[in-house]
Amino acid sequence: MNLHVSPAATVSGSIEVPGDKSISHRAAIFGALAQGTTRVSNFLRAGDTLGTLAILRELGATIRLPDNPAEALEIEGNGFDDLHTPQSTLDCGNSGTTTRLMMGVLAGQSFCSTLGGDASLSRRPMDRVQIPLSQMGADIRGEGERCTPPITIRGGDLHSIEYAMPVASAQVKSAILLAGLRAQGTTTIIEPAPSRDHTERMLRGFGVEVQTQNDHVSVRGGQTLYATDVSVPGDISSATFFFVAAALRPGWEVTVRGVGVNPTRTGVLDVLRAMNAEVLLSNGRESGGEALADVTIRGRTLQATEIGGALIPRLVDELPVLALLATQAQGTTLIRDAGEMRVKESDRIAVITRELSKLGARIEEQPDGMIIYGPTKLTGTIVSSPKGDHRIAMTLAIAGLIAEGETTIENADAVTSSFPNFADLLEQIRK
């Protein structure tokens, strides 16, 4: 599927984005592991999360997804021990989150299972999960030295570990915590920098005691999850595309209502402020341990900045579209310490450098990031997103708002994996 975007005279509007993908994945998985019926409202209905539901059904969970999106998803669970041997390879599609979290779940099961996925997922290394789970006693084998899918897991009796993570990653942390719930003793993770803490917050909502102190996160094995109701906030990663759209030009403005503003996810707001965009939060509230707010972004003359260090885990998924924003800033923006971008759905450092350059951006690829020179005029042309990389496709669509002439994005199908109504919302704000 190709997506065609014409330049906007202005950008304005008030919109809502779909439910947070990270939280939707976790709500479904935890609900399947809990005792009782969990109800999840505003669950993201997209390719990745629906794939997670299919896997949970294959493992024995009873799941009811009403046709009406306004009605809550219901998951009936009966604990870890109620999961059973799947009849075939569990298809994770293109979802790294599904793969890594399910590795943690399956590591403590007595049966053998295999996780597979599409061609893109089959190139993504899973050794950062394999290593700690193997230390806990699971037998996990993938392809090659980096343990790429398909991955076969022979779970069993696990023992607790203390594990210092070499790279901050919420997905790796979550996998270890899920395995730790099935291990003897207390499992402790030491983070090199703060990463998303949705798992810790949600586990507490399901009745699990999780200890956090400074950079240590600990969970005691043998605890039971109890069903609860979960309300999923709007996805700040999805909202970021519209934040950036508003920030691209002085006078443009967008409000996104009901966005999750968990402090471990708001690095993008810090960068927008550093680049001189106006950021306003209103109607703050809390749901299920997660902070929400209505977020308004107003465009002003942009200034270059530096993005790196502890900020990276708080916005790694937003870096492609922030690179686009940097093309319109006064001065030179440096993105560093972001080597993680190379092992996402595509090598995002290489791809975004190449595709924005086609539009006229002055951008240099670095081993762990990019150097972006601005401001530069962009000109519409044919650009391409790697198959399966939704964030690249959406970034290029936002670029089309300020590029002279029409921008055509090839391979835009992947947008449905995280943001099915993206194109509709884009048309809504483009005036």
Domain containing residue 212: CATH number? 3.65.10.10
Q: Is the peptide bond before 194 cis (omega within 30 degrees of 0)?
A: no
pLDDT of 151: 98
Claim to verify: residue 74 and residue 167 sit in the same structural domain:
yes
Show the tokens assigned to 402.
């300020």
pLDDT in tens, the chain (431 residues): 899 999 999 999 999 999 999 999 999 999 999 999 999 999 999 999 999 999 999 999 999 999 999 999 999 999 999 999 999 999 999 999 999 999 999 999 999 999 999 999 999 999 999 999 999 999 999 999 999 999 999 998 999 999 999 999 999 999 999 999 999 999 999 999 999 999 999 999 999 999 999 999 999 999 999 999 999 999 999 999 999 999 999 999 999 999 999 999 999 999 999 999 999 999 999 887 899 999 999 999 999 999 999 999 999 999 999 999 999 999 999 999 999 999 898 999 999 999 999 999 999 999 999 999 999 999 999 999 998 899 999 999 999 999 999 999 999 998 987 798 999 999 999 99
Claim to verify: residue 54 and residue 162 sit in the same structural domain:
yes
Q: What are the φ and ψ backbone dihedral angles of 357, each rounded to 5 degrees?
A: -65, -35
Name the residue range of residue 197's domain.
Answer: 21-231
Claim to verify: residue 388 and residue 296 sit in the same structural domain:
yes
**Among 367, 360, 358, CA closest to 385:** 358
- The DSSP letter of residue 17 is P
Show the tokens assigned to 68.
């009406």
Domain termination residue (choose one: 204, 231, 258): 231
Claim to verify: residue 255 and residue 128 sit in the same structural domain:
no
Residues 6+ apart with CB under 8 A from 130: 103, 140, 142, 147, 151
Claim to verify: residue 30 and residue 96 sit in the same structural domain:
yes
The three-state secondary structure class of 400 is coil
Percent helix, strand, coil in the chain, to 5, is 35, 30, 35
Of 317, 347, 389, 424, catalytic: 317
Domain termination residue (choose one: 192, 209, 231): 231
CB contact at 8 A, 207 and 185: no
Claim to verify: residue 11 and residue 25 sit in the same structural domain:
no
Q: How far, in whole angstroms, is CA 384 from its chain's centroid?
A: 21
Show the tokens assigned to 162.
């203390």
Q: How many domains does the chain have?
A: 2
Claim to verify: residue 26 and residue 15 sit in the same structural domain:
no
Claim to verify: residue 103 and residue 69 sit in the same structural domain:
yes
Query: Rounded distance, CA 360 to CA 258, Å?
Result: 35
Claim to verify: residue 9 and residue 108 sit in the same structural domain:
no
Sheet (strand 148-154) strand order: 90-91, 112-116, 148-154, 139-143
Looking from the CA of 81 toward its CB, the CA atoms found within 13 Å total 5
Catalytic site residue 48?
A: no
Claim to verify: residue 47 and residue 14 sit in the same structural domain:
no
Query: Rounded distance, CA 417 to CA 41, Å?
Result: 19
Query: Rounded distance, CA 379 to CA 282, Å?
Result: 36
Domain termination residue (choose one: 172, 199, 231): 231
The three-state secondary structure class of 232 is coil
Claim to verify: residue 134 and residue 271 sit in the same structural domain:
no
Claim to verify: residue 210 and residue 338 sit in the same structural domain:
no
CB contact at 8 A, 377 and 399: no
